[in-house]
Amino acid sequence: MHIRAEAIVLSTRNHGEHGAVARALTREHGVQPGYVRGGRSRRIRPVLQPANLVLGEWRARTGEQLAGLTVELVHSRAALFEEPLPAAALQWATALAAAALPEAQPYPHIFDALSATLDAIEAAPSARGWAAALARYELVVLAELGFGLDLERCVVTGEEDELAFVSPRSGGAVSRGAACGYEAKLLALPPFLREGGTAEWADIFAALKLSEHFLSRDVLVERATDTLAARTRLVDRLRRAVA
């Protein structure tokens, strides 16, 4: 097996005295793990920072063997880890992909969504500029893994107008009229998720609540406690930042 591709580092763990095992997301080959010789060294460890973009080369004699991996830094986001809010966002975005995606299966749309989200976190002057992108990224993960929400028409009436809620059971949109009397049992559907554009903080938090419900129920079932802890820290910090 031989793969050479740009990849987003998702996670690393120490292996042996000097090495590390890194998992990185490529666009065409999905999540690829690899053993990095000297991965704990002062020279290579910063390259393996989650959220960095690297040029990776994986080599293995068989498909069952853990590949040896060499990495070359393409773009570093390590400086963002000095800022608590962007750091929490980067940690959650990469942790979600690491936990949710099976290895060696291509998910180009997730790669593109993650890349765009990381770029937004890096470029935006404040969290307002990237929090909506993070919610959209989570919905892309759900959709690509087969748990996409139907936000195009009302699951009750079939109509496309005044969609304001989502059924927490079916994941289908519900119109304002069909939701009458049941609003407390439904999840809010922020307009920006369907119409695009900018979003107020109330809508951003509603979108994050919406995606969290389905991520914890359908994707992170056995790993929800550990993985969602990073998300909880992020949302708590966002709430404190805008309070």
Domain CATH for 223: 1.20.1440.120
* 71 and 177 in a common domain: no
pLDDT over 90 at 16, yes or no: no
CATH of the domain at 16: 2.40.50.140
* 106 and 146 in a common domain: yes
**Rounded to 10 degrees, what is the CA torsion of 12, 124, 106, 16?**
-10
* 129 and 66 in a common domain: no
**Domain end: 76, 98, 120, which one?**
76
* 168 and 232 in a common domain: yes
d(CA 132, CA 43): 35
More confident residue, 125 or 21: 21
* 90 and 158 in a common domain: yes
**Domain end: 76, 111, 128, which one?**
76
* 111 and 9 in a common domain: no
Beta pairing partners, 56:
5, 71
pLDDT over 80 at 63, yes or no: no
Q: Could you read off the pLDDT of 191-207 as tens digits, one per residue?
A: 999 988 889 999 999 99
Mean pLDDT of the chain: 94
pLDDT over 80 at 32, yes or no: yes
Indicate the pLDDT class of residue 223, thresholds 50, 70 and 90.
low
* 86 and 28 in a common domain: no
Q: Which domain holds residue 61?
A: 2-76
* 85 and 72 in a common domain: no
Q: Report the SS3 class of residue 175.
A: strand
* 112 and 7 in a common domain: no
* 98 and 22 in a common domain: no
* 21 and 37 in a common domain: yes
* 193 and 87 in a common domain: yes
Q: What is the pLDDT at residue 9? A: 98
Count of structural domains, the chain: 2
Q: What is the pLDDT at residue 225? A: 65
Q: What is the pLDDT at residue 198? A: 82
Name the burial class of residue 145, with classes exposed (0-12), middle (13-18) and buried (19+) by CB atoms within 10 angstroms of its CB.
Answer: middle
Q: Could you read off the pLDDT of 81-137 as tens digits, one per residue?
A: 999 999 999 999 999 999 999 999 999 999 999 999 999 999 998 898 899 999 999
Sign of CA dihedral 129, 135, 139, 140: positive
- pTM of the model as a whole: 0.94
Sign of CA dihedral 70, 111, 216, 126: positive
**Domain end: 20, 50, 76, which one?**
76
